[in-house]
Each structure stands twice: as C-alpha cells, then as structure tokens.
Amino acid sequence: MNIVTTINEWQSLRQTLTKKVGFIPTMGYLHQGHFSLCERAQQENDITVVSIFVNPTQFNQSQDFLNYPQNIERDIALLQEKHIDYLFLPTAKAMYEDQYSICVTETELSQELEGEYRPGHFTGMLTVVLKFLNLIQADKAYFGEKDFQQYLLIKKMAQAFFLPTTIIPCKTIRMEDGLALSSRNVRLNENQRKLASFFPKLLHSQLPLNEIKNQLEQLGFKVDYLVEKWQRRLAAVWIDDIRLIDNIELRNNLV
C-alpha cells in the first residue's frame, strides 16, 4: 500500500493513474462497515484509494471532535491486510489552506434532521467531500447508507456541480444484535453497549413512531428525532454523551 501525505504528491501521482479508480473517504478508526465499501470498490475498479481525515469543520461540538476515536497505526495495518492500493493522509492545514473561508452550503435538504440538530455539520461535510472528490478524481466513490441524509446530500452536490465521479450507496453493516457499525461505538462501555442494542430492535419494530419514541425514552435514550421520509425510517438518539444514528428502508409502508 502506498501512503500519500501531501496534496502535491497525490496530484502528481494521479496523473500517472490511467485505470479505473474507486474512492472511500473515511475519518478513520476503521471497522467492517468501511471494509465492505473497500471490498465493493475493489470489485468494481482497478485501483482503490482510501482517505483518512478527521474533518474539524463538520463537528458542531468541539468535545465531539476531541473525543472522536483515532488510531492511525491500527488503520494502516488493517488497510494493508485488505490490499488497498493507496491511502491518502492529508493534514487539516493542507485541506483548509484558505482557513475555511470558502465552503459549500446546501439550503434545503440540509436544514432538517441532522442539519437541525448539528448546525454547520453538513456545510463542513460537503465542503471536505467536494475537496476530496476534486483531488482523487475517482470514477466511483462509496458511501454507507447509515448516514443516509449525508448520502443524499453528496449525490445532490455531485449532480449540481457536474462532478464526473459516480456516487455509490452501500448497505449498512450491523453487529449480530443489529447495532449499526460506527467508529463511535468504541466509546460505549459495557452497559451502554447493551442498551444500544435496543435502538435497532425498536427501529425495526412494527410499532407506531410515537410508541417507539416512548419506549426509547423509557429505556434511557434521549431522542433527537424519529421520522419516516425518503422511504426510510430515520432516527438519532443519545446514550449519555454518545450520539448514535441509524435508518432502515421502508417497503410498502412496512419495515
């Protein structure tokens, strides 16, 4: 695996790549959800590029940024095991040489759900994703459906700016008890982890939304939102100071 740490180095290298390129942008602390994206990229492309960058501009709470799990040595070893071709590891200084004075703002879809509860999050996310898509110049880029609103926004941005990269959604990968894989899960202690398992169970239930919300709150969750739209049931909850999101596909109004 080749590790590229500067933008100039990547741009020079990119000019030499003539085969199909698949791209997976990540914030690190990799898990099987990320690797499922890598596997699909490897199946559909000749070259697979993964980036690791904990993007400071998409954290609306500084403590969340500081608490975000990071272990680059672990991630590098895992990516080497998966035979990833290139790892791109830029610095925040390089990615935001303009001090974040230029950014990408979406004015409709980004105003609700995650956008309502995490002000500024989607502007930071879209800005950094556009930077990465411009840099990597991939044929296809892969995003997990756990962050479904994020996927919709990235797809919309790619279409609006006529980006040549195809945005590919990939199914959510779950633990045996149904909890969606997330880098933040590592912060859950044993009791919190047991409680977290009720989140996907109730999300998949046939109960009406108000009853699901009531049961989550009775169990000790704080519910930011629980809605049905985009043929999905989407929710965000807190266990103490750890925030989890999830969504499931709705078919014929049934889970």
- pLDDT 10s digits, 33-71: 999 999 999 999 999 999 999 999 999 888 899 999 999
Strand 222-229: give its sheet, edge to edge: 222-229, 232-239, 242-249
| pTM across the whole model | 0.96
Q: Is residue 226 part of a domain?
A: yes
Q: 189 lies in a domain?
A: yes
Answer with the one of 147, 170, 193 that is the final residue of a domain: 170
User: Could you report the per-residue pLDDT of 112-133, keeping only the tens digit for each?
Assistant: 999 999 999 999 999 999 999 9
65 with 164, same domain: the answer is yes
Is 254 a member of any domain? no
The domain boundary, picked from 170, 198, 227, lies at 170
Where the chain has pLDDT below 50, the residues are: none
Residue 136 shares a structural domain with residue 227: no
| Residue that has been written with the tokens 């049934």 in this structure | 254
34 is catalytic: yes
Residues 204 and 111 placed together within one structural domain of the fold? no
Q: Are 173 and 180 in contact (CB under 8 A)?
A: yes
CATH number at residue 209: 3.30.1300.10
For 216, the domain range is: 183-247
Question: Given 31, 34, 83, 121, which residue is catalytic?
Answer: 34
- Do 160 and 206 lie in a common domain? no
